[in-house]
Amino acid sequence: MNKSPIFSHQLNLQEDYPCPVCRVGKISTMPLMEAMCCDFCQEIFTINLESQEIKMPSRQPPLIWRWNGWKWNQAQIEGVELGWGYILAAIVFVLFPTSLIGIGAYYFPPHPHVPLSWIPYIWTLLTFLSHLGIIIWILIEIYQIPIRAYWRAIIQYRN
């Protein structure tokens, strides 16, 4: 499919579109409503044809996707602008504690003949993984990433 703006089309109520949430199903208009529903993840979206966007009202604050003519733009949280400050804070949240523990393990290493001399290095790795896991969990919660829908799609694809 050619992705040039010449061949792009406007969002309308007569066509089916890929679901921006599960990325597996198709969203289509619900009868007698100005809303769309996914045939796979069953999410319901409200439509704004003037601004070419759909909104997922099932969560607060709702997620909004804009149609650019051939695909949905990245989801945005209504009224929230995630900028460089949040990205920098997440990087510092992951790297600062890991660096503190790693520097401590480097400058004050245990004696090599101690049976558990490997613990400071494992502790540094666990600090990194746990803080990274917290950031990933927060992103999954904010953007409501449907992990169960992805898993169900993988199982359906294999069968």
Tell me, yes or no, whether 68 and 98 share the same domain: no
Tell me, yes or no, whether 115 and 65 share the same domain: no
Tell me, yes or no, whether 89 and 65 share the same domain: no
- Give the end of a domain, one of 32, 57, 77: 77
Tell me, yes or no, whether 114 and 142 share the same domain: yes
Structural element, H or E, at residue 53: strand 53-56
Q: Copy the structure tokens of residue 87.
A: 């990205």
Instruction: Give me the DSSP letters along 140-157.
Output: HHHHT--HHHHHHHHHHH
Q: How far apart are CA 79 and CA 115, in angstroms?
A: 54
Selection from 74, 71, 43 nearest residue 59 by Cα = 43
Domain that holds residue 34: 5-77
Spell 133-148 as b/e; 16+ CB within 10 A means b: eeeeeeeeeebbebee
CB 40 within 8 A of CB 19: yes
- Give the end of a domain, one of 53, 77, 101: 77
Tell me, yes or no, whether 98 and 149 share the same domain: yes
CB 36 within 8 A of CB 28: yes
Per-residue pLDDT 10s for the chain (159 aa) are 444 444 557 888 888 999 888 878 899 998 888 889 998 888 899 988 888 899 988 877 788 888 988 888 877 777 666 678 889 999 999 999 999 999 999 999 888 888 988 999 999 999 999 999 999 998 877 766 667 777 777 787 787
- Give the end of a domain, one of 58, 77, 96: 77
Phi, psi of 58 (to 5 degrees): -75, -5
State how many domains the chain has: 2
